[in-house]
Structure 1
Amino acid sequence: MKSSIYRTLLLAVLMLVPAVPVSSSPRTVNYHSLINNLCDVGSLAVCDGSRVVQFSSWDRSGGNIDRGHFLSGDGKKAAVLADVKGSGAMVRFWSANPSGVICIYLDGKSDPIIKCSMRDYFLRRMPQPIAGRSSGGYISYEPVPFSKSCRVVVYGAGYLYYQINMRIYPAGTKVRPYRAGDIHRYSRIINKAASVWRGERSVSQNGYLRLGAEGRREWRRRTFVAPAGGKAVIFNVSGAGCIEKLSLTVKRGSLDKCMLRAYWDKQGKPAVFVPALSLFGAAGSKENAKSLLTSAEGTDYAARFAMPFARYARVEIVNYDSSPLAVRVDVTSFRFSKLAGGVGRFCASFRMAATKPGVPFEALNIRGKGRLIGLVLASHADRSSKWLEGDECIFIDGEKLPSIRGTGTEDYFNCGWMFKDGLLSRALYGVTSLDLAHSQFSAYRWHVPDPISFNRSLLVRFEHGERNTSPGITYSAAAFYYLLD
């Protein structure tokens, strides 16, 4: 019996694929490339020098009236929601209560390149789930590139809740601005991207291949047992490469009390050390959840984060349960002759703490250079509260005031009104459990078009309640990011 459990089935499929190292030459960004990037999860590992800024309706007084606040104007006539200079792209627009007419002005021109009702902007321009309704909110991930400037104005906005994310590119990046008719001109690739987000097509391999030279694809399958209180090494290779997809099928036991730990390039400390369920986007969830980067369906789990390494990779499952865990592990990876420059190492960290009066929950606090690509956040308590009123506050490179400040915890996850419509699972966001009577929820968000870059440090905090006034709630956060050596 024991020998059958430990029996190894190794299936290797080797496929030589030419890979192009990450180029240092100026690149060209346009509507076509940005639509393709919506499905390019491999390129998230490339720290390309872009940065993300956010405009939102947060209450400047520090209170909880996170609506109707604009850069200029009011909700009756013209309200300026966002105004940015440089070359970049608008990559995310969220609202809980869209109203009025939106006008988007590019590169200093007096006529808007996009003009329509706010509801049409969210519900009719792009196919679901790239845009549409969420659980109590409205979201659009349609990219709008610009070469010199972008100004977003809404006429008749009223008391609007909103968040807009702009991705700003480094000097030398050539950006072709959005042109009238692009949405129709590229309808085929838009529909293709939407089908990938719906899970009807596979994620492109191109982004992974650009992470190194002379890519050779491999597939390994093996069954492991992690004894009670012990561990199992599920991936262990030398040389340069990148894990493309890590899949687990639980044969006996449970992942509920397991952690996943990973080391890259002989690091002394693990780069990844998080609950296994969080890695698969399923923290606190009893329901199936499927996103662009993760899936948890019954006893089958998968993670599609690019996990590159230059010299060595080791991945372990640590079992803290009193019963052994038997899992079948499938790993799809690439072996490279050399890892490309500018490629970060995949990291994931975990924090858990009970909230205290006047003190926000700290989800992440790291030093180094890299980019944040996602969060899985959860909470629970023995009572109901207004804990979701708290905003996310993201401090980049030691800034005293957060350059990214939201309008409510559920708003960060593209939803609204206390997740009004219940659970959902989408490509870049989802709420996987919810019990308002016990201040309980779990949710995920992946920053695929809007990774948050930092050069020295990153601090991510979530307020609880209107002014950090919901103590005694246990929060946990798994943060996913890339760091450069």
Structure 2
Amino acid sequence: MMRLSLLVLLAAGFTAGAFAQSPVAQPDLTRQQTYTLHRASSTDPTGANADFRSIAPGATLTVLDADGPGMVSHLWFTIATGEPYHLKRIVLRIYWDGEENPSVEAPIGDFFGLGLGIYHNWQSQMLSVGSDKSLNSFFPMPFRHHARITVTNEGKQRVGSFYYNIDYRTYTHPLPDDTVYFHAEYRQAQPNRGWTNNWISNGDPLVNNKTNPDGKDNYVWMEAKGRGQYVGVTMSVLQNQDGWWGEGDDMFFIDGAKTPSIVGTGSEDYFLGAWDFGGKPFSYQLYGAPIVGDELAGSRSSVYRFHLDSPIPFTQSFKATIEHGNANDRSDNYYSVAYWYQAEPHEPFPPLPPVEERLPALQHVGGPGNAFKAVR
């Protein structure tokens, strides 16, 4: 039997000590593999060079429809269309084992960490966007019986060229009974409404001395019921106000806890930077801030963190949150996708916001620097 990666073994309920392996989504290259590798792609069925599909407005394209047991090991997409913010208008969904409610649902750009609706290159161990406009995922995605992946064009213009390559394995043996499934959920707050706009700087006693012991009104990355483990998040911020957006603490609530089971010290600290990221972008395997804006209204930032070193387990429920400013005083826009593994069935996700509401736009919220301009 092949040796699965540490991440997959953890997702299947194995302990890290069971196998002395690196936590990368790769099999042991020194052992003969026994799976069969397949590829679903947009290759021209005639053998010519039109290796793409077009997607009309409102239409859904199925890019994978495969029987198991198996595992999706790699997604690659690239898109050619003239519609602005098409990364927000095209929706990616993934369904496991014939489920009615998708286990993955997000605007395609957000899934790949492009939460501002524009392309930028970045890299991590699980997700990357390469030159030019190539979207890659290496999350291992096991399935027992069936996998279906779709993309839906919720825009007003035809997607002229949608290219894809999806690599997946099938096995002759069933997956372990306690295998858990990949999930990803999009959320946004445009804006996060702060409890006040009567402040001048983050250091004002009015906001700096405010307490938030139970996470009330935090921005929520995801909520789940059941058994599984949280593995990370990508998030983008459009500032509606001047100053540093990242004074908020991350807070995780495990198995019904009323106060946070895990609590951090600041947004840039959770994303494993420090001191407002020093105003400079960076990108590493498990954490980074590939876009770092000025501390002014209208600025944009993107950040990510993957817990491959220690996924956060839960057995009954899980809620991942972060404050927007200290004790939620700020009113910036957040767009995020959380990633986790859990046993099915899962709770249905909240409905996606209408497409026009997903497009990043400055909001009239008051406070420092918020001379309102309806800018997209």
Tell me which interval the TM-score lies in, with the shorter structure as reference length. 0.7 to 0.9
Contact 2:64/2:147, CA 8 A, preserved across alignment: yes
1:449 paired to 2:286: no
Aligned equivalent of 1:417: 275
- Alignment partner of 1:47 out of 2, 9, 13: 13
1:395 paired to 2:227: no
* Aligned-residue offset at 1:308: 1.0
Q: CA offsets per residue over residues 167-197 of structure 1, 9 Å max, x none?
A: xx8xxx6899xxxxxxxxxxxx9xxx7xx9x
Q: Which has the higher strand share?
A: 1
- Alignment partner of 2:123 out of 278, 287, 290: 290
Contact 2:40/2:64, CA 8 A, preserved across alignment: no
* Aligned-residue offset at 1:42: 3.7
Structure-2 change in CA distance of 1:395 and 1:220 (3 Å): same
Number of aligned positions between the proteins: 303
Query: Matched residue of 1:365: which SS?
Result: strand
* Aligned-residue offset at 1:274: 1.1
Aligned equivalent of 1:215: 35
Aligned equivalent of 1:481: 340
Query: Pairwise CA RMSD of aligned residues?
Result: 2.8
Query: Matched residue of 1:410: which SS?
Result: helix
Aligned equivalent of 1:437: 296
1:11-90 aligned within 5 A:
18-19=1-2, 40-48=6-14
The amino acid that maps onto 1:296 is: V
- Provide the rounded CA distance (Å) in 1 between the counterparts of 2:257 and 2:178: 24
Deviates more, 1:248-257 or 1:411-420: 248-257
Q: CA offsets per residue over residues 30-64 of structure 1, 9 Å max, x none?
A: xxxxxxx7xx544453233x6xxxxxxxxxxxxxx
Query: Matched residue of 2:268: which SS?
Result: helix
Aligned equivalent of 1:383: 241
- Provide the rounded CA distance (Å) in 1 between the counterparts of 2:65 and 2:19: 41
Deviates more, 1:358-367 or 1:389-398: 358-367
| Structure 2: gaps spanning 5 or more residues | 43-51, 196-215, 345-376
- Provide the rounded CA distance (Å) in 2 between the counterparts of 1:206 and 1:259: 34
Query: Matched residue of 1:255: which SS?
Result: helix
* Aligned-residue offset at 1:379: 1.9
Query: Matched residue of 1:295: which SS?
Result: strand
Aligned equivalent of 2:204: none
Contact 2:2/2:27, CA 8 A, preserved across alignment: no
The amino acid that maps onto 1:345 is: Y
Aligned equivalent of 1:235: 64
Aligned equivalent of 1:355: 192
- Provide the rounded CA distance (Å) in 2 between the counterparts of 1:306 and 1:460: 21
Contact 2:244/2:276, CA 8 A, preserved across alignment: no
Contact 2:56/2:158, CA 8 A, preserved across alignment: yes
Structure-2 change in CA distance of 1:225 and 1:464 (3 Å): same
Deviates more, 1:272-281 or 1:453-462: 272-281
Query: Matched residue of 2:120: which SS?
Result: coil
- Provide the rounded CA distance (Å) in 1 between the counterparts of 2:10 and 2:129: 22
* Aligned-residue offset at 1:216: 1.3
- Alignment partner of 2:78 out of 235, 249, 258: 249
- Provide the rounded CA distance (Å) in 2 between the counterparts of 1:300 and 1:403: 38
Contact 1:379/1:442, CA 8 A, preserved across alignment: yes
1:264 paired to 2:101: no
| Structure 1: gaps spanning 5 or more residues | 1-17, 23-36, 51-168, 177-188, 197-201
- Provide the rounded CA distance (Å) in 1 between the counterparts of 2:124 and 2:308: 12
Query: Matched residue of 1:475: which SS?
Result: strand
Identity %: 26
The amino acid that maps onto 1:248 is: F
Contact 1:42/1:205, CA 8 A, preserved across alignment: no
Query: Matched residue of 1:278: which SS?
Result: helix
- Provide the rounded CA distance (Å) in 2 between the counterparts of 1:328 and 1:286: 16
Aligned equivalent of 1:204: 26
* Aligned-residue offset at 1:321: 1.7
* Aligned-residue offset at 1:482: 0.5
1:91-130 aligned within 5 A:
none
Contact 1:286/1:433, CA 8 A, preserved across alignment: no
Query: Matched residue of 2:109: which SS?
Result: helix
Query: Matched residue of 1:388: which SS?
Result: coil
The amino acid that maps onto 2:2 is: A
1:224 paired to 2:224: no
The amino acid that maps onto 2:26 is: S
Structure-2 change in CA distance of 1:466 and 1:239 (3 Å): closer
1:343 paired to 2:175: no
Structure-2 change in CA distance of 1:321 and 1:458 (3 Å): same
* Aligned-residue offset at 1:417: 1.1
Q: CA offsets per residue over residues 153-178 of structure 1, 9 Å max, x none?
A: xxxxxxxxxxxxxxxx8xxx6899xx
- Provide the rounded CA distance (Å) in 2 between the counterparts of 1:431 and 1:273: 23
- Provide the rounded CA distance (Å) in 2 between the counterparts of 1:413 and 1:405: 13
Structure-2 change in CA distance of 1:467 and 1:273 (3 Å): same
- Provide the rounded CA distance (Å) in 1 between the counterparts of 2:138 and 2:36: 18
Structure-2 change in CA distance of 1:240 and 1:289 (3 Å): same
Aligned equivalent of 2:200: none
- Provide the rounded CA distance (Å) in 2 between the counterparts of 1:228 and 1:174: 49
Query: Matched residue of 1:420: which SS?
Result: helix
Q: CA offsets per residue over residues 62-108 of structure 1, 9 Å max, x none?
A: xxxxxxxxxxxxxxxxxxxxxxxxxxxxxxxxxxxxxxxxxxxxxxx
Structure-2 change in CA distance of 1:437 and 1:300 (3 Å): same
Q: CA offsets per residue over residues 283-317 of structure 1, 9 Å max, x none?
A: 22542011111111222111011111111110011
Q: CA offsets per residue over residues 400-456 of structure 1, 9 Å max, x none?
A: 221211110111111011111411221111212232212632111111111011000
* Aligned-residue offset at 1:387: 2.9
